[in-house]
Amino acid sequence: MNIITLGRIAGLSLNEITTMFNESDELAIDRTLLAQKASDIDVKIKQLKAIRDSLNHVANCPQSDHLACLSFQKLMKSAKP
């Protein structure tokens, strides 16, 4: 797997990937940028987990009114960015 493919999988734009090379086309990795991307991914994982949990709860909740369900309300609050 090359650096461009890996960068794209990580969510880097082509411009961001370009900054990972110096004038001689040698790797010059921007560690700060990568740390920020990792942090962004952590936030996205948290959001996706909350959404997953909400969907599972809605699918299996015994309450007839989900908005009255305290667990559902808590999950909805945690899904906010």
Tell me whether residue 22 is exposed, middle or buried, using C-beta atoms within 10 angstroms of its C-beta: 0 to 12, 13 to 18, 19 or more: exposed
Question: Quick check: 51 and 30 in contact, CB under 8 A?
Answer: no
Q: How many CB atoms lie within 10 A of CB 26?
A: 8
Q: Which residues pair with 21 in a beta bridge?
A: 27
Give the tens place of pLDDT for each residue, 33-79. 999 999 999 999 998 998 888 788 888 888 888 788 887 777 777 76
Token readout for 45 is: 């994982």
Tokens 């709860």 map to which residue? 57
What is the extent of the structural domain holding 69? 3-78
Q: Residue 81: pLDDT above 70? A: no
Give residue 75's pLDDT.
Answer: 72
Is the Cβ–Cβ distance between 39 and 29 less than 8 Å?
no
Rounded to two decimals, the pTM is 0.68
Structurally, how many domains does the chain consist of?
1
